[in-house]
Structures are given as C-alpha cells and as structure tokens.
Structure 1
Amino acid sequence: MTPHPSDPDDTPVLVVTIAAPVAEVWQALRDRERVHHWHGWEAEGLDDEIGQIYFSDEVVEDGAAHTLTLGGGDRLELLPDGDATRVRLTRPPVSDDDEWAAYYDDITEGWVTFLHQLRFALEHHRDAPRRTLFLAGPGEAPDPAGLADGSTWFRSQQQVGTRVPAWGDGLLVTAHIPARNTAMAVLTTYGMADDELAALDTAAQAWWEGRPGAVDAR
C-alpha cells in the first residue's frame, strides 16, 4: 500500500480487495452498527468517532457510484471486481498545519488497519460481534508469534496481520511507524468469555512490555 503512481499529488492510495459484493461492502460502510464490527477497537468514545468519521454533515455520499468523501478529505470508492470488491481509499494532500501534518503517517497507517479489519470482518465474521484489546507505545512492534500461533493474513510496509484460530478465528494486527518510533497492536477476538479475554489481556501485556524499546506500554 504505497502512493499510486498516477496520483498527481503523490498522496497515498490504499487498495484492498474484499471477497464480498459491492452492495454488501457499501452496507458495511453505511450501517452504523456494522461499522462497529470492524472500525477501530473497543474504547470509550468509539461511537462518537464512528459518527464523526462516517456520518457527520461533512461526509459526501454517492450511493449510486458507491463513493464516500469524508470530512477530512479521505475518499472511499468501491469498484466491482468479479464477485469481489476493490476498496480504494485516496488520502488528501498533507495539511499546511504542521501539528496536524505530524500525524499524517499515523492516520494513513490507521486506514491500513481499518481496511484490513473491514475485509476480515466481511470475509470471516459477517455481522458477528467482536471483542478487542489495544496496545500502543514507543518502541518496536513485537513478533506476533510471541503471543499467538497463527498464519500471516496480510503484510504491508509497516504492518503485519496474523489470523489466530485460538481467538475464535481472530486477527492480530501489529504496526510500527519508524519516523515516530511508535508501535501498536489490535487484538480482535470472537466468542470469548470475560475470563478468557482477561487471560489474553494479561498475556498480551507481558508480550507487549517485552518488546524492544518498550516504555509504559499501556
């Protein structure tokens, strides 16, 4: 996922192909409850974040063309690809605001995570509720194999997605942004009871705190 060579501003264009028809992917973007099944992770304020990003008055929606232009300038376009759908997200140019521009790469990496979470949810857990854990902090991203047995499900320049059967066929996403020397991990699980999730949280904390450069991981 790198800037598309035909893009005049050399802004990142992210493309993910999802094994689902356009109508179903569109519904996953326009039904607020379905967005909760893939966007971000469980945290206070998630519903407000979803509302601001996908459903605010600044969002421009074209249901016939299946395009969505968000308030920050990011543009989502759904393109049929046989029985599948190519989701193309074009980022806006970097802001002149230095403070906002400093987080441009972080936001781009966030979109990489979200688009693959969307793909995972639609291909493996359509309409299924999830339970998630999130970790972030300075330092490198730890090796996914140190936490869970699984298979690589996607890999980008900065991220690795690992499919984890033991988590109810869940997903572990790890990322590292070298420019800021920060890392994050999103653990997505299905069908876990409270005690199982608590045990995973404890194991994840130890795994995260043992990574290179870790400082107050939580």
Structure 2
Amino acid sequence: MEISVPVGRDQVWEAVTQPEVLHQWFGWDYDGLEAEIRQIFVDEATLWAPERMGWADGSTLEVDGDDDQARIRVAREGSGADGPDVYDAIEEGWRAFLIQLSFLLRERPKGRRRTVYLTGETTGKQALSLATGEWHRFGPRVAWTVDPDGHLVVVAGRVPLDSPSAARFEVTVSTFGLDDAAFETVRETWAKHWAPVAADANLTTADTPAPTP
C-alpha cells in the first residue's frame, strides 16, 4: 500500500515518527490513543536509515522522495497471500490511516484534530450515503471524501463497498480546529445520521472507551 504526497521527505518522516504529529492522523480519538501511538511508533518500532521503520510482525513503513515530493509505502509480510477477497483488519486499517495522513500533509488543516468514530452493521451503499462529497476508493473496502464542511470522512468495511451484504463498517470523521460547541454539533449530526442506517450503532470520541472489535 502506498500514497504520494506533494511535500518533502523530511516532513513526511516527521509525521510518522513524532507523537504530536501522529495524533493528527493516526487512528481515531479514544481514551487510549496516546498510549497506543507511543506503543506502536516509539516502543515497538525499529528505525533504519534511510527513512524506514519496521515491527516484529514483519510490517514495514518506508518514506522516499525528495524535498518536493514523497512516497509512503506500507508492506506487511504475507499480506494478500489469501487473495483480495479475504478481509485483513491490519491492512484495511493502514489504508484508512494513509488516507488520513495524506489529507493532513496535502491540506495542512489548522488546529487540533478531533474525530467522531462510528461503528455498526450496515452496507457499503448505506455508509457512503452519509456524505454528499465525491467518494474516492482505496482498495475495494475503503473510501474517503471531504464533506461540505471540510471534514475528512473515511469509510472502511469488512466486505467490499459494492457488496449488497450488511457487515461491520467503520466511519472516521476527522475535524480540525473546532471548539467544544462546534465539535458537539458535528458529533450530534453524525450520531443522528448513523443510527438509522446501522444496526448496533456506536459512536466514539476522545472521552469514550474503544468499542469492542
């Protein structure tokens, strides 16, 4: 899995190694995110020169490019061995996170990132109906758009987005620079839209525990 961004290699490497920047794109807000970032990217990651890191499970992240353009590549040992139809939670998670990283580096939004994370059982068609922007695919199970308010919306499912079957879907809405009142409006709006289209609908923000996978 890889993305290209119109920023220099050094800036990208900072974004994937510095906890304060990682918090602006990795995962979603919940009460254990800071500890998770430190565990994955500080405690468990091994850094190699040039800009490359790896983990005990054989996963690697590599940044290359120059002062104007960079490419981020994530590889997993054995990933895809069972074919593209087999769901891989780690792979699909990285697809979503790379979208969020690309948005941060390309758009350079101002202010602290705050997220609304939605989970539940629905179909890809219903999940994609939640936002009216133009949807872009990143593999068969992940898509993203920017809604009319400028928030990044990433949808990821355990089945392909075009499948008519209902399955667990995750929607991450990334906002930047909102005060408490504005963020509460976003949270209430997404909760209102999500509940009618998803069974076992759940919503997570910074002060709530992570939902059960």
TM-score interval, normalised by the smaller of the two chains: 0.7 to 0.9
Q: Which runs of 4+ in 1 moved over 4 A?
A: none
Residue 105 of structure 2: aligned partner = 122
TM-score (ref. length: structure 2): 0.80
Q: Kindly, what percent of the aligned residue pairs are identical?
A: 29
- CA-based RMSD of the aligned residues comes to 2.4
Counterparts of 1:188 and 1:130 in 2: how far apart (Å)?
6
Q: Contact (CA 8 Å) 1:136, 1:184: kept in 2 or not? A: yes
* 1:41-72 alpha-carbon deviations (Å, 9 max, x no partner): 1111001110111111x42101x311110243
Specify the alignment match of 1:85 in structure 2. Answer: 70
**Letter of the structure 2 residue corresponding to residue 177 of structure 1:** R
The letter for the 2-side match of 1:61 is: L
Q: Which amino acid aligns with 2:6?
A: A
Deviation at 1:193, TM superposition (A): 2.5
Kindly provide the amino acid, as one letter, of the partner of residue 97 in structure 2. F
The aligned residue for residue 138 of structure 1 is 121
Residues 163 and 170 in structure 1, CA contact (< 8 A), matched pair in contact too: yes
Q: Which has the larger displacement, 148-157 or 112-121? A: 148-157
Asked if the contact 1:37–1:128 (Cα under 8 Å) also holds between the matched residues in 2, the reply is: no
| Corresponding position: 1:67 with 2:52 | yes
In structure 1, distance between residues paired with 2:65 and 2:24: 22
Among candidates 171, 196, 200, match of residue 186 of structure 2: 200
Scaled by the length of structure 1, the TM-score of the pair is 0.78
Kindly indicate whether the alpha-carbon contact (under 8 Å) linking 1:34 and 1:127 is maintained by their aligned counterparts in 2. no
The answer for the alignment partner of 1:6 in structure 2 is none
Aligned residues: 190
Q: What code does the residue aligned with 2:95 have?
A: V
Helix, strand or coil for the counterpart of 1:157?
coil
- Aligned in 2, Cα 1:178/1:153: closer, same or farther, shift over 3 Å? closer
In terms of mean alpha carbon deviation, does 77-86 or 25-34 score higher? 77-86
Shift of 1:122: 1.0
Q: What 5-or-longer segments of structure 2 have no aligned partner?
A: 80-85, 161-165, 203-213
DSSP 3-state at the match of 2:174: strand
Question: 1-side partners of 2:120 and 2:77: how far apart?
Answer: 26
Q: Look up the equivalent residue of 1:114 and give its one-letter code.
A: F
Task: For 1:125 and 1:144, locate their aligned partners in 2 and report how far apart those are by CA, in whole Å.
Answer: 25
Provide the rounded CA distance (Å) in 2 between the counterparts of 1:197 and 1:76: 32
The 3-state SS of whatever aligns with 1:68 is strand
